[in-house]
Amino acid sequence: MTLKLISILYLALLLGCITLINFSLGFILAATLVPAAAVAQPAPHKMFNALFLILMSPATVVLLCIYLYHELTEYPITLLECWQLFLQAVAESILDHHLYSSIVYPFIVFFIYPCWLLLWNVVFWN
């Protein structure tokens, strides 16, 4: 439970800081990571928690958003095209970081993924 407390405090600090800089990103991250943090706990039934954490990982959320965007705009795409658009979005975020000093990519890589990995460790703690 101490690890869960540390991960929730870390998540609260991250969401508070990013909300001051970029409210929409903070809201989207809070909508996806707070339910995952609430569900993550060391329990004997780890498969449900692990599946929920995989579905709420930042990469899966971006992949689902790309797929839903194209479905809602009535331009259906296949899963392979969705994967290619996901890779293109990641490449463009890296390019935006290098060209325009955008903080979104480093923030996700250096702060959000370690927080998600902390939640993953909470689920699989012995």
Q: What is the mean pLDDT of each run of 10 residues along the chain (126 residues)?
A: 87 91 88 87 82 86 90 88 93 93 86 88 81
What per-residue confidence (pLDDT) applies to 126?
Answer: 67
Contact call for residues 97 and 104 (beta carbons, < 8 A): yes
- Token pair 């990995």 is at which residue? 117
pLDDT at position 87 is 95
8 Å CB contact between 18 and 25: yes
pTM of the model: 0.77
Dihedral-angle region of residue 51 (phi above 0 means left; psi in -120 to 50 means alpha; beta otherwise): alpha
pLDDT of residue 59: 87
